[in-house]
Amino acid sequence: MAGERAVSSVAAGAAGSGAAGADSASGGAGPDERADLPRAGDGAGERGIASGGPRDSGISGRVVVPRDRFTLDASLELRPGERVAIIGANGSGKSTLLAGLAGLTELARASTVTLGGHPWRSIPVEARGIGFIAQDGLLFPHLSVLDNVAFGPRSAGRSRRESREIAARMLEEVRVDHLAGAAASSVSGGERQRIALARALATEPSTLLLDEPFAALDVDASVEVREITAEQVRARGLSLLLVTHDLVDAVRLTDCVIVLESGKVVERLETRDLQRAPASAFAASFAGLARVPGTLATDALVTASGARIPLRGVEVDRSLRVGASALLLAAPDHVELVDSGRGAVGGDGEAARTDAGGNVAMSASSFADAVESLVGDGSAVRARLRSGLLARVDSERLPQAGAIVRVRIHHARLRPAP
Ligand SMILES: Nc1ncnc2c1ncn2[C@@H]1O[C@H](COP(=O)(O)OP(=O)(O)OP(=O)(O)O)[C@@H](O)[C@H]1O
């Protein structure tokens, strides 16, 4: 998206303030279709859009945008007040989806998006009640902080004095009122994102579109801006679409997560289920879980890439039958290297017994595996094991790649393979 954002910086700055973006410029419905809807310049901004109008209503339908390698074709359902995280690998189309809804990228004719039941194109951008914040804030560098925030209300037809009063109030709400007179080009990253939030809020949006708004900030600033954003979103009952690569953002700010893969929605789940029941590989890795394909060999043992993993500490889905393909989901913090064992993987000496049907039941709680590599995970080091599991490691006693180790799972889930 970088190129598009750069050329659209004025529109992006204005998107939070309701100025025309790409798709309104590209036409859309004729005058009759829009008769009951607010228009640019008809004073809608001064009165605010009446409740029950598009601003208060959900967004739903297909967003279609052709891209270089694929066509984004994402079905979306955002109910009023709902907060949704959009996650996916780099280049999966997350920013394209947001840019399309912000009016910064033209939607293809095949799109069927509606806002409150009205066709998207029939509603002028400034009447959609959408605020947009990009990773780098996109403030107008030649304006003061106050004038950046006043831009939206001013464009919507408010007087200069009124617009500045609104701006001052918004800056106070996000706790950067002391910067009102500063040049926008002189503020820090954290301040810039708060000002961008104030600017979006000054247009009284009902939906906020946030494209990795905390990603360029240092840890302290990102915590502060995230908390202020959460505060405002909740206090105002805003709907939210948040593009993020950060589990904390999703958990703190959203109720629901959609996963994009090559422009398609491949999974939608509640945020609280991210660490419990992610179906896609991306959602599992986003949640920090190892996702290990294996086979339920007995009712007490799963085999995975040569490792024979006892199911002690593992919650097994009731529908799984012996012999079925399964997925073991485990957070690295719940997988411990108990010592560097010896011998071949699988020949691990657990106390095993054979039941009447010839199935092997394991009584041991640990098993042998091999360290494939060490991987960084934020501030922690993890061991990637041959089975596919990730284990926490003591940074004072890092195992060697290739070492045979004993592993104990304290908590994990075993689900049917998708
Ligand atoms: N203006 C454009 N025209 C055509 N293709 C584009 C344009 N901008 C981006 N793309 C391509 O569209 C695809 C999706 O890009 P997009 O920026 O939406 O992905 P993303 O999921 O937001 O990625 P990231 O996580 O890296 O920000 C990529 O293949 C990208 O190269």
Ligand 1 centroid – CA 95 distance (Å)? 7
148 lines ligand 1 (CB under 6 A): no
C-beta of residue 122 within 8 angstroms of C-beta of residue 74: no
Query: How confident is the model at residue 48, as a pLDDT?
Result: 31
Residue 93 CA, closest ligand 1 atom number: 18
Output the pLDDT for position 45: 32
Phi then psi for residue 183, to 5 deg, are -75, 135
Question: What pLDDT does residue 9 have?
Answer: 27
pLDDT score, position 394: 84
* Residues shown for the chain: 418
pLDDT digits (tens, 9 = 90+) for 37-52: 233 333 333 323 333 4
Does the beta carbon of 94 sit less than 6 angstroms from any atom of ligand 1? yes
Q: Is the CB of 261 under 6 A from ligand 1?
A: no
Give 260 Cα–ligand 1 centroid separation in angstroms: 12
Q: What pLDDT sits at residue 21?
A: 42
Residue nearest to atom 9 of ligand 1 (CA): 1
Closest residue to atom 3 of ligand 1, CA basis: 67
Q: Output the CA 86–ligand 1 centroid distance in Å.
A: 14
Give the position, in ligand 1's atom list, of the atom nearest the Cα of 245. Answer: 25
Instruction: With beta carbons less than 8 A apart as the criterion, state whether 209 and 131 touch.
Output: yes
Nearest residue by C-alpha to atom 19 in ligand 1: 91
User: Residue 340 — very low, low, confident or very high, per pLDDT cuts 50/70/90?
Assistant: low
Question: What is the rounded CA–CA span in Å between residue 171 and residue 234?
Answer: 18
Higher-confidence residue: 137 or 113?
Answer: 113
377, 246 Cβ separation under 8 angstroms: no
Dump pLDDT digits (tens) for 212-229.
989 888 888 889 999 999
- In DSSP terms, which residues pair with 360 in a beta bridge? 354
**Ligand 1 in contact with 264 (CB < 6 A)?**
no
Percentage of the chain modeled with pLDDT above 90 = 58
Is the minimum distance from the CB of 205 to ligand 1 under 6 angstroms? no
Cα of 23 vs centre of ligand 1, distance in Å, is 18
Percent with pLDDT over 70 in the chain: 80
Q: How far is it, in rounded angstroms, from Cα 283 to Cα 208?
A: 23
Beta strands in 218-365 (DSSP E): 239-243, 256-261, 264-270, 290-298, 301-304, 307-310, 314-316, 325-330, 335-339, 352-354, 360-362
Q: How confident is the model at residue 55 (pLDDT cuts 50, 70, 90)?
A: low
**Does residue 347 register a pLDDT over 90?**
no
From the list 222, 223, 165, 225, the residue with the least C-alpha distance to 195 is 225
pLDDT for 79 equals 93
C-beta 70 within 6 A of ligand 1: no
Judge if the beta carbon of residue 2 lies within 6 A of ligand 1.
no
Q: pLDDT-based confidence at 365, cuts 50/70/90?
A: confident
Which range of 36-45, 47-56, 242-251, 361-370 scores highest in mean pLDDT? It is: 242-251
Tokens at residue 195, please? 């000002």
Look up residue 170 and give its two tokens: 């918004």
169 lines ligand 1 (CB under 6 A): no
Two structure tokens written together for 250: 């999703």
Confidence grade of residue 56 (pLDDT, cut at 50, 70, 90): low
**Strand 114-115 with 118-119, pairing:** antiparallel
Q: What is the mean pLDDT of the chain?
A: 81
Look at residue 330 and tell me whether its pLDDT is greater than 90.
Answer: yes
Give pLDDT, residue 216.
83
Lowest-pLDDT range, 33-42, 187-196, 230-239, 365-374? 33-42
Residue 308 has pLDDT above 90, yes or no: yes
| Type of residue found at 371 | V
pLDDT at residue 357 above 50?
A: no
What is the pLDDT averaged over residues 358-384? Answer: 76
Q: Cα separation of 303 and 297, whole Å?
A: 6
Mean pLDDT of 246-272: 95
Residues 221 and 217: their CA atoms lie apart, in Å, by 6
Q: How far apart are CA 76 and CA 92, in angstroms?
A: 15
Ligand 1 lined by 244 (C-beta under 6 Å): no
CB distance 67 to ligand 1 below 6 Å: yes
What are the C-alpha distances in Å from 61 to residues 112, 332, 342? 5, 38, 57
Mutate to test the pocket of ligand 1, among 1, 245, 264 (most ligand atoms within 8 A of CB): 1
Lowest mean pLDDT among 14-23, 107-116, 281-290: 14-23
